[in-house]
Amino acid sequence: MGWGGVGLSVPRHVACVMDGNGRWARQRSLPRTAGHQAAEAAVIDVIEAAYTAGVRWLSLYAFSTENWRRPGDEVDFIMRLVRRTLRKHAPSLYARGIRCRFLGVNDPRIPPSLARDVTDLMELTGGNRRMTLTVAFDHGGRRDIVEAARSLIRAGVPADQVTEESFAGHLPYPDTPDVDLVIRTSGEQRISNFMLWQVAYAEWIFPRVLWPDFRAEHFWECLDAYRRRERRFGDVLTPTTTGNGAP
Ligand code: FPP
């Protein structure tokens, strides 16, 4: 099966909550870290599928501000996995014209070697425009909103000049378009503090498959399901507001 159409109905921005790694491992009587390890193949498959489908913005939720509560060895494993994955795939991300960005990476607990690789990859791929891959790492949607409010106040913006547009301009990466489609694997149906501002009008799809088993064909099924949705952005349906195009 493949994705045939690059057209109006391809979501511009897809965001994935990569859930179910722990359950995948438990089903196999393996340590949780084995589930994270197996997640790498899904990450690479989804980047490739999104790129092939013509998705221009892909965001992946790799580590939340709440994930610091997990056992130390699991946190360490995720840090090492992210670093290994980035180093391994940097050349092909660059060659494909993918710009890599990181949302978060603020916490002093992040190993300096990983922070350095993140900076290097952003520099290497910064001129690319074919697709923007944003890895949300040490990310919290509420924290981003609070930081934006602080930044507005520091900039001395008068209260009556605070609009949705001016506010959004103080979020990290203000050029990021709203998310059109969120895919959360494993059947869980929660937002979990993910890109709260940007998902305001997103469509949500909750495939039951666990993230380590998620592959390009599942991604294409989600794009098909998205294409069949009617997005109204709070409006009523008229001949000019049908379809998936943003207003
Ligand atoms: C959620 O599953 C998964 C995570 C918290 C870690 C995800 C991180 C990766 C897949 C690494 C990605 C790497 C790059 C470079 C993008 P869970 O552990 O909460 O699963 P459970 O709900 O079944 O316990």
Ligand 1 close to Cβ of residue 38 (< 6 A): no
Return the SS3 of 64.
strand
Q: Are 235 and 66 in contact (CB under 8 A)?
A: no
Question: Whole-angstrom Cα distance, residue 6 to residue 178?
Answer: 19
Please give the domain boundaries of the chain with CATH numbers for all domains.
13-227 (3.40.1180.10)
**Ligand 1 centroid to residue 23 C-alpha, Å:** 11
Q: How many Å separate Cα 246 from the centre of its chain? A: 19
What is the block-wise mean pLDDT of the chain (247 residues), using blocks of 10 residues? 55 98 98 98 98 98 95 97 96 98 91 96 98 96 97 96 96 97 97 97 97 98 92 70 46
Question: Whole-angstrom Cα distance, residue 139 to residue 128?
Answer: 23
Cα three-residue angle 208-209-215, rounded to 5 degrees: 140
**Ligand 1 centroid to residue 57 C-alpha, Å:** 20
Ramachandran angles phi, psi of 30, nearest 5°: -110, 160
Residue given tokens 């993140």 in the structure block: 118
Ligand 1 close to Cβ of residue 81 (< 6 A): yes
Annotated binding site for Mg(2+): 19, 203
Residue partners of 23: CB distance under 8 A and separation at least 6: 35, 186, 210
Give me the pLDDT at residue 105, please.
81
**Ligand 1 centroid to residue 19 C-alpha, Å:** 6
Ligand 1 close to Cβ of residue 22 (< 6 A): yes
Q: What is the pTM of this model?
A: 0.92
Give catalytic residue positions. 19, 67
Ligand 1 close to Cβ of residue 78 (< 6 A): yes
